[in-house]
Structure 1
Amino acid sequence: MNRISYSALLLLLTPLLLVYLGFRALKSADYRGRIGERFGLGLPKIQRPIVVHCASMGETLAALPLIRALQQRYPQLPVLVTTTTPTGSAQVKQQLGDSVYHCYLPIDLSGVMRRFLQRLQPSAVILMETELWPNLVHHCYRQQIPVILANARLSQRSAKGYARVGGLVTPMLKQLSAVAVQHNQDGARFVSLGLPAGKLTECGSLKFDLKLSDHDRQQAREFAFTLWGERPVWVAGSVHPGEFAALFSAHQQLLKQQADALLVLVPRHPEQFEAAFAAACDHGFDCQRRSSGAAVDGQTQVLIGDTMGELKRLFGGATLAYVGGSLIERGGHNPLEPAAFGKPVLMGPHYFNFQQIGDALKAQQVLEVIHSNDELAQALQQLLFEPKRRQQIADAALEFVGNNQGATERQLAVIAASLDSRA
């Protein structure tokens, strides 16, 4: 497949995409009022912005220190943050407010992307992690707009998938201005797909650059104490439906040993909030919703985290953490957030989206990999009953995160080289 056949296929699929967007609009106001943005309509009235594209919530949160660094270095240029999901959009508004412009990135139709770029005339386009869109990259190249792939990562599984469509991927990689890769293994995979090695810089992961002050840690402790008191609590964050049953089974086993233990389950996607609450009730737990705003009742065994933007504080106030998307083959989510708070981290075996970070945390004995609900229950019991071990893990986690910070400055330097050379 090449770019022309990709564009033709995408054009043929557009009616189905419109049906999908219409269906989502029935349930979500964020889709309902903003379908035009998916086709490059209703764009912010700005010129020469730095465009930073973050697919969803995870990429947006990781990009925050880089976006703020860009604002400081280039105060004369507006920053436009684009996303593809409502959860990503919500984080842009919550974390950055009016300091940036925001819209959805249009669908990667050739004509739409050409018009999008002609209208905005970006100073540069920064794509986060693996957000590679062939027509966007092609038209940036044609219009001499630098495109930088920042915080880039590429799992072995993804690399194999890209290799199957080398006629599409290799020309796109050659048109990138620079790639700031997280790890050398990721970089080697990009080069194997056709990226010129001279465009590659290993910079580390932005996800390490979590700015947690003593005040932030104290706030998390106070938040937790107000919400659930001094109970032993494990927070299962970014959980997917295929994991609910295993987590609930492990919690049932834990309650036999620790009757006042509390599970805080935070689904990855808001549309799963209600299903998670129903599933918890079906398993016989006394359940409560975080959205109720009330402190957790002493009889509550499961709290469903059905609010947005609170997972960081929940991790910070927990006794230990499970990071979801890893008991099923979703690739896992970011384990660094609980680790940065010094929390023991549990994950399933499928964390290939964070392979290097997960393996490094495992080597430091901060992360424990579990394969079943029984293993999870056993790990929970051991960690809850061993405060000295938790303290050792906390010390190792904080040292590890601190030693790996600095990616923001390194990636900013890569971006600046492209921006300043164009200027």
Structure 2
Amino acid sequence: MKLLYIIGIWTYTLLIRIFSLFNPKAKLFITGRKNIFSIIAQKINPAEKHVWFHFASLGEFEQGRPVLEKLKTLYPAKKIVVTFFSPSGYEIRKNYALADVFYLPIDTPANAKRFIANINPEMAIFTKYEFWHFYFKELKDQGVPLYVISGIFRESQAFFKWYGGFYRNILKSVTYFFVQNEESKRLLNSIGLKNVIINGDTRFDRVYENAQSPKQLSLIENFIGSSPILVCGSTWPEDEKILSTLPEKYPDWKFIIAPHEIHESHIESIEKQFPVGSVRFSVFSSADQMPNAEHQTLIIDNIGMLSSLYQYGKVAYIGGGFGTGIHNTLEAAAFGIPVIFGPKYDKFQEAKDLIAIGAAKSISSPEEVINAFNGFIENKTAAEEARKYVADKKGATDQIISMITKSDQP
């Protein structure tokens, strides 16, 4: 199985190289790792200890960010290294002020040994996903504590199958698992791993903090005026097709669409589906130029504003539910906004919870999105249920910090 793992890593890398000839993300994946160890050597002193945080992508970064920032607040002298697997995380957070940020070199024995020697970690913290055999083995061989935070496991994963011995051995390198739910703990216990605590999801801490002191956006406020707002976050074409039925039916509302992909062809596609009264955010550079009454739909053609946009919403639509799965519902819920999303949400416990308390609805058609939207316009309690749900579940960060900074680890 180890040989198959190695073959799989190299096959994946080869395919990415081929895709990089015509796919921008794949190109960033390859070029970002070019001369990676020389880049690391320019920034990192291997004689100094570092705390290593690894994130698959941007979503995992936002999930683990409360732990990183709380650790830095409590121990400002600690040096932190952040790695990303995906370009969509690295390219947005490469200038993050609290850490040195790099792409994670591909998981090979030589890369793992060299990388860990170069950054000299005192501990490693992985968020939710990604279990790399050679990195985990090298950390264990070097006696470096390894933590998985906001972990979530499902019975369908290879760890829990009859053929999953190799993958179970990867998990044995973890010092402690901080998991989101009882099911994850049960599954890990079933394969002999008892170093598990149900700690919840650090995203609740992040989104709660964001909602307490959001960045004010004067351009957005000028666009809104006194109109109620539907904020559509991380949308994909399938979402936008359904949402395009709403502006005509709700002329008193305004719509803000922040798509997941902002390349030109996607923005043009949105403009075609919202032909009347739509405008790109980038067209305007000052509050005086921002339109209000004559425009009903604002298309956000940049990255980084979405978490602040939700403060202006009365209802939110979260994209991704017609693809691989919905995006972050908690950012909206933290502001006390009920949420609507597509049918693929089964892997997201918070989505199920929000539906159960009446603060979210799943839809599959234009008719259903209209019904859901109408329901939340009339429902006066859904907003407070959403807000309370997030507030009640915060606190995972402090517990993690307390555990990982103990001198006597459990």
**Is the pair's TM-score, using the shorter chain for normalization, greater than 0.5?**
yes
User: Does structure 1 residue 261 correspond to structure 2 residue 260?
Assistant: no
User: Does structure 1 residue 373 correspond to structure 2 residue 366?
Assistant: yes
Task: Compute the displacement of 1:83 (Å).
Answer: 1.2
User: Does structure 1 residue 126 correspond to structure 2 residue 118?
Assistant: no
Q: In 2, Cα distance between the equivalents of 1:280 and 1:212?
A: 34
**Structure 1 counterpart of 2:173, from 152, 175, 186:** 175
Q: In 2, Cα distance between the equivalents of 1:245 and 1:163?
A: 39
Letter of the structure 1 residue corresponding to residue 222 of structure 2 = T
- Equivalent position of 2:316 in the other structure: 321
1:134-166 CA-to-partner distances (Å, cap 9, x unmatched) read 221122122222211111112455x26863751
CA contact (8 A) 1:173 1:195 kept: no
Q: Aligned ranges for residues 344-383 of structure 1 at < 5 Å? A: 344-354=338-348, 356-383=349-376
Q: In 2, Cα distance between the equivalents of 1:161 and 1:280?
A: 45
**Structure 1 counterpart of 2:294, from 299, 303, 310:** 299
Q: In 2, Cα distance between the equivalents of 1:227 and 1:168?
A: 55
User: Does structure 1 residue 229 correspond to structure 2 residue 218?
Assistant: no
Q: In 2, Cα distance between the equivalents of 1:277 and 1:146?
A: 48
Q: In 1, Cα distance between the equivalents of 2:344 and 2:202?
A: 22
The 3-state SS of whatever aligns with 1:333 is coil
The 3-state SS of whatever aligns with 1:219 is coil
CA contact (8 A) 1:264 1:303 kept: yes
Structure with the higher helix share, 1 or 2: 1
User: Does structure 1 residue 187 correspond to structure 2 residue 182?
Assistant: no
Q: In 2, Cα distance between the equivalents of 1:202 and 1:297?
A: 47
Task: Compute the displacement of 1:421 (Å).
Answer: 4.7
- Equivalent position of 2:136 in the other structure: 137
CA contact (8 A) 1:170 1:195 kept: no
Letter of the structure 1 residue corresponding to residue 186 of structure 2 = A
The 3-state SS of whatever aligns with 2:290 is coil
CA contact (8 A) 2:160 2:187 kept: no
Q: Structure 1's 42 and 263: CA in aligned 2 closer, same or farther, altered over 3 A?
A: same
**Structure 2 counterpart of 1:280, from 261, 271, 276:** 271
- Equivalent position of 2:153 in the other structure: 154
Q: RMSD across aligned C-alpha pairs, in angstroms?
A: 2.8
Letter of the structure 2 residue corresponding to residue 146 of structure 1 = P
TM-score (normalised: structure 1):
0.85
Letter of the structure 2 residue corresponding to residue 239 of structure 1 = T
Q: In 1, Cα distance between the equivalents of 2:136 and 2:56?
A: 16
1:378-414 CA-to-partner distances (Å, cap 9, x unmatched) read 2223433x3xx24x22222222221111010112233
CA contact (8 A) 2:278 2:295 kept: yes
- Equivalent position of 1:18 in the other structure: 17
Q: Aligned ranges for residues 196-275 of structure 1 at < 5 Å? A: 196-197=193-194, 199-209=195-205, 210-212=207-209, 216=213, 219=216, 224-248=220-244, 250-251=245-246, 254-256=247-249, 258-271=250-263, 274-275=265-266
Task: Compute the displacement of 1:90 (Å).
Answer: 4.3
Task: Compute the displacement of 1:107 (Å).
Answer: 1.4
Letter of the structure 1 residue corresponding to residue 90 of structure 2 = S
How many residues align? The count is: 400
CA contact (8 A) 2:211 2:334 kept: no
1:303-333 CA-to-partner distances (Å, cap 9, x unmatched) read 222111100121111121011111x141212
Letter of the structure 1 residue corresponding to residue 405 of structure 2 = A
Q: In 2, Cα distance between the equivalents of 1:261 and 1:15?
A: 49
Q: In 1, Cα distance between the equivalents of 2:52 and 2:355?
A: 36
Q: Structure 1's 282 and 241: CA in aligned 2 closer, same or farther, altered over 3 A?
A: closer
Q: In 1, Cα distance between the equivalents of 2:315 and 2:359?
A: 11
CA contact (8 A) 1:224 1:318 kept: no
1:235-270 CA-to-partner distances (Å, cap 9, x unmatched) read 11112233332222x32xx523x2243322222234
Letter of the structure 2 residue corresponding to residue 313 of structure 1 = S
Letter of the structure 2 residue corresponding to residue 129 of structure 1 = K
CA contact (8 A) 2:55 2:126 kept: yes
Task: Compute the displacement of 1:279 (Å).
Answer: 3.8
Q: Structure 1's 330 and 12: CA in aligned 2 closer, same or farther, altered over 3 A?
A: closer
TM-score (normalised: structure 2):
0.88
Q: Structure 1's 174 and 215: CA in aligned 2 closer, same or farther, altered over 3 A?
A: closer
Task: Compute the displacement of 1:51 (Å).
Answer: 0.7
The 3-state SS of whatever aligns with 2:150 is strand
The 3-state SS of whatever aligns with 1:62 is helix
